[in-house]
């Protein structure tokens, strides 16, 4: 009964979305305020209805209603409550419903906070968001109904994929989707501006906080996924250039470019058509990411449930939304030229290069991700693109990008010449080089070529982002949230670069073959397997190793890596044992049974690895801080 209610609410939500789109787009076009006035109630109705629908699915999971096929396929009565809730988005159907709900939530937020916008413009933005909603709701209802009943019902469910039974992965999809979907707001603002043929600096000021917040969610979502892969997959790395990872990273890069381009459009009224294009691209890549994950076109560890019929639907949807937006762009963008000019060494010029390099970075990842697909489509055989491609070609645009950022942070708008700030630039660079020498010669040995480069760029970025806030603070000038958030985000990028450099250079890893009582050496660290015992969890049993780690004879800690056997899906999962410290992680995962009482043990020591994710979270916080600036909350004069 509850499931049918959820299904029915979803159908009504589709109708509400149709009203939202129709009145939002037609109302302003025929200039009838009475029609335009319907769009906000329709938006609220859509949100309430999708919420009821999602609530019904959560209820079915919490109540273990195994007569619902989706619940029977993705849950089990032994599954803990937290994972019964997160199982809602553990597979395709529920993920889509969550997407639709988050989209409805963003739309409602726009509807509430758009009081200062011209009525016609706000209606158009909501109307375009309504079109996107229609696509997702129709997709869910037509190809992926999560409420379908199972006939006959089964006594118990197939359980959630054990890979997904993890707190970080429970939070990963909602965060990621919030980021993906949030970019639809910038997209809708861009389309509305193109329809009206008007784009001014006020427009950029409206769009900026939405984009920045969406970007922050995306950042946290990607970081959570990366962190999960580190300790759950037992591989011990933070990034694998998996197609689905790339699918989330490309919109992130473009969204980053968009944030910077919007800054130029707001401050100086420049880069207008470029900003529009980035807004379209960022959301298009989010949709494309969904397509790649859900259509089965790319095979990856993430393709849990792929179905070509669904792929076809998303492709048509992509053509209508992205194709429509790009057609609008080709037609209207030429009207939106910018007139002002700027000096070569002004901030505008640095941000232009920032944009170019970020787009190049996204493009090379795009090429690498799509190459297997293109090669397959042209009948050139199967092609596999991995680390050997991505690592070097990604550094090509990003290393100059970091250097430009370190210099550009000192630059001023319009005619601000970098030469005025030469002292600050040289001073920070010198300090960065000194710290690098200290790190490379003093703290760690065995540097590679890129090690000093990475350290120097990272430290330079940290110092450069602090110069302006400290300077203003000493001169008793106001420090706005926008300024501080920006400084925090760029300093975090510096921390990120330093930590990645340390991880890539100084990680020590070995696969040891140990029997109980034996020990192996990884650098200064000794791993001794002191015990193996069976333990039982709520829905699995596990073999738990006890590994005593010492560093040069001094005790470091006792780690308990597990190999879990989940009962229902009969799947074996590794659960790494990690000793986290401020400066390094000591990591151990149980591998295979080698026979004769020996086990393969993957032992790693990774310096500074936690700062990779910590920096990403700080970066996101910087974004949110900047988006809270009062400038954006002031009622814009229309």
Partner 1 sequence: MNRYLLPGGVFLLLVIVLYIGIQRAPQKTVIPSALLGKPAPQFTLPVLGRNESFSSTSLAGRWHAINVWGTWCPECRVEHDMLLRIADSGELPLIGFNWKDDDAAALDWLAQLGNPYSVVVADREGRAAINWGVYGAPETFLINDRGIVVHKHVGAMTQEVWEREFRARLPRTAALPGALK
Q: Provide the binding-site residues for partner 1, judged by CB under 8 A.
A: 66, 72-73, 150, 154-158, 273, 277, 280-281, 284, 291, 295-299, 306-308, 311-312, 315, 318-319, 322-323, 326-327, 329-331, 333-334, 370, 373-374, 376-377, 567-571
CB of 296 to partner 1, least distance (A): 4
Nearer to partner 1, 66 or 611 (CB): 66
| Secondary structure element (H or E) that encloses residue 600, with its range | strand 598-607
CB of 265 to partner 1, least distance (A): 17
Q: Which residue intervals of 378-516 are DSSP H helices?
A: 387-408, 422-437, 450-474, 481-506
Q: How far apart are CA 236 and CA 99, in angstroms?
A: 30
Q: Which residue intervals of 306-449 are DSSP H helices?
A: 308-318, 324-332, 347-377, 387-408, 422-437
Nearer to partner 1, 295 or 345 (CB): 295
CB of 311 to partner 1, least distance (A): 4
Nearer to partner 1, 73 or 574 (CB): 73
Q: How far apart are CA 80 and CA 90, in angstroms?
A: 14
CB of 288 to partner 1, least distance (A): 8
CB of 373 to partner 1, least distance (A): 5
Q: In whole angstroms, how far apart are CA 245 and each of 69, 105, 236, 444?
A: 29, 25, 16, 31
CB of 45 to partner 1, least distance (A): 33
Nearer to partner 1, 567 or 614 (CB): 567
Q: Among 263, 274, 261, which residue's Cα sits nearest to residue 334?
A: 274
Long-range interactions of 194-200: CB distance < 8 A, separation 24+: 194/276, 194/328, 194/329, 194/331, 194/332, 194/333, 194/336, 195/124, 195/328, 195/332, 196/120, 196/121, 196/124, 197/332, 197/335, 197/336, 198/336, 199/265, 199/272, 199/276, 199/336, 200/269
Nearer to partner 1, 64 or 114 (CB): 64
Nearer to partner 1, 33 or 538 (CB): 538
CB of 335 to partner 1, least distance (A): 10
Nearer to partner 1, 360 or 556 (CB): 360
> Residue 110 has which token pair?
């726009």
| Secondary structure element (H or E) that encloses residue 171, with its range | helix 167-196
CB of 382 to partner 1, least distance (A): 10
CB of 12 to partner 1, least distance (A): 31
Q: How far apart are CA 284 and CA 299, in angstroms?
A: 21
Phi, psi of 414 (to 5 degrees): 60, -95
CB 548 within 8 A of CB 561: no
Q: How far apart are CA 14 and CA 557, in angstroms?
A: 55
Query: Tokens 């000096």 — which residue?
Result: 343
Residues forming beta bridges with residue 115, ordered by sequence position: none
CB of 371 to partner 1, least distance (A): 10
CB of 522 to partner 1, least distance (A): 31
Query: Tokens 């958030």 — which residue?
Result: 485
Nearer to partner 1, 78 or 407 (CB): 78
CB 542 within 8 A of CB 562: yes
CB 589 within 8 A of CB 577: yes
Calculate helix-pair angle for 201-232, 167-196, nearest 10 degrees. 160
CB of 511 to partner 1, least distance (A): 21
Nearer to partner 1, 229 or 288 (CB): 288
Nearer to partner 1, 281 or 497 (CB): 281
Nearer to partner 1, 100 or 280 (CB): 280
Nearer to partner 1, 349 or 569 (CB): 569
């Amino acid at each position: 009964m509850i499931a049918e209610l959820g299904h029915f609410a979803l159908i009504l939500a589709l109708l509400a979305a149709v009203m939202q789109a129709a009145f939002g787009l037609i109302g302003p076009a025929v200039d009838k305020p009475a029609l335009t006035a319907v769009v906000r109630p329709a938006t609220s109705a859509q949100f309430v209805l999708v919420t009821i629908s999602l609530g019904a699915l959560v209820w079915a999971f919490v109540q273990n209603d195994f007569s619902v096929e989706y619940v029977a396929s993705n849950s089990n009565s032994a599954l803990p409550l937290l994972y019964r809730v997160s199982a809602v988005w553990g597979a395709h159907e529920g993920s889509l419903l969550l997407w639709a709900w988050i989209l409805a939530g963003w739309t409602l937020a726009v509807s509430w906070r758009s009081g200062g916008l011209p009525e016609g413009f706000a209606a158009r933005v909501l109307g375009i968001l309504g079109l996107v909603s229609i696509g997702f709701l129709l997709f869910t209802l037509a190809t992926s109904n999560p409420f379908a009943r199972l006939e006959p019902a089964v006594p118990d469910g197939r359980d959630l994929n054990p890979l997904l039974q993890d707190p970080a992965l429970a939070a990963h999809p909602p965060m990621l989707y919030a980021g993906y979907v949030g970019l639809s707001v910038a997209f809708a603002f861009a389309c509305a501006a193109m329809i009206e043929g008007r784009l001014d600096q006020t427009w950029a000021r409206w769009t900026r906080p939405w984009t920045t917040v969406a970007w922050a969610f995306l950042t946290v979502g990607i970081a959570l996924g990366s962190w999960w892969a580190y300790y759950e997959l037992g591989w011990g790395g933070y990034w694998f250039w998996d197609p689905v990872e790339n699918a989330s990273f490309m919109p992130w890069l473009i969204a980053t470019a968009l944030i910077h381009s919007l800054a130029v459009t707001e401050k100086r009224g420049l880069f207008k058509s470029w900003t529009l294009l980035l807004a379209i691209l960022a959301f298009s890549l989010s949709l494309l990411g969904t397509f790649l994950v859900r259509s089965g076109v790319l095979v990856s560890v993430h393709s849990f449930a792929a179905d070509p019929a669904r792929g076809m639907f998303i492709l048509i949807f992509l053509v209508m939304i992205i194709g429509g937006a790009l057609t609008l762009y080709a037609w209207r963008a030429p009207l939106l030229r910018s007139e002002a000019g700027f000096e070569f060494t002004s901030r505008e010029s640095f941000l232009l290069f920032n944009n170019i390099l970020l787009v190049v970075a996204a493009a090379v990842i795009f090429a690498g991700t799509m190459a297997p697909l293109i090669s397959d489509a042209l009948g050139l055989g199967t092609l596999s693109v991995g680390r050997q491609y991505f690592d070097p070609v990604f550094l090509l645009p990003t290393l100059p990008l970091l250097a430009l950022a370190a210099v550009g942070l000192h630059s001023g708008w319009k005619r601000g010449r970098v030469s005025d700030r030469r002292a600050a630039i040289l001073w920070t660079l010198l300090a960065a080089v000194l710290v690098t020498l200290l790190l490379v010669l003093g703290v760690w040995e065995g540097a590679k070529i890129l090690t000093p480069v990475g350290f120097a760029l990272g430290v330079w970025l940290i110092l450069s982002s602090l110069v302006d806030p400290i300077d203003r603070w000493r001169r008793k000038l106001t420090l706005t949230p926008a300024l501080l958030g920006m400084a925090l985000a760029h300093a975090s990028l510096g921390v990120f670069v330093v930590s990645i450099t340390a991880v890539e250079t100084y990680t020590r890893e070995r696969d040891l073959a140990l029997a109980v009582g034996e020990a192996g050496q990884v650098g200064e660290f000794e791993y001794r397997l002191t015990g193996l015992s069976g333990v039982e969890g709520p829905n699995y049993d596990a073999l738990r190793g006890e590994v005593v780690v010492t560093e040069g004879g001094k005790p470091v800690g006792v780690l308990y890596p597990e190999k879990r056997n989940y009962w229902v899906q009969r799947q074996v999962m590794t659960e790494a044992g990690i000793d986290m410290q401020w400066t390094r992680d000591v990591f151990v995962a149980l591998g295979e049974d080698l026979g004769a009482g020996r086990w393969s043990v993957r032992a790693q020591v990774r310096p500074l690895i936690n700062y990779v994710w910590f920096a990403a979270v700080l970066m996101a916080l910087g974004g949110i801080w900047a988006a809270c600036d009062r400038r954006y909350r002031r009622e814009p004069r229309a």
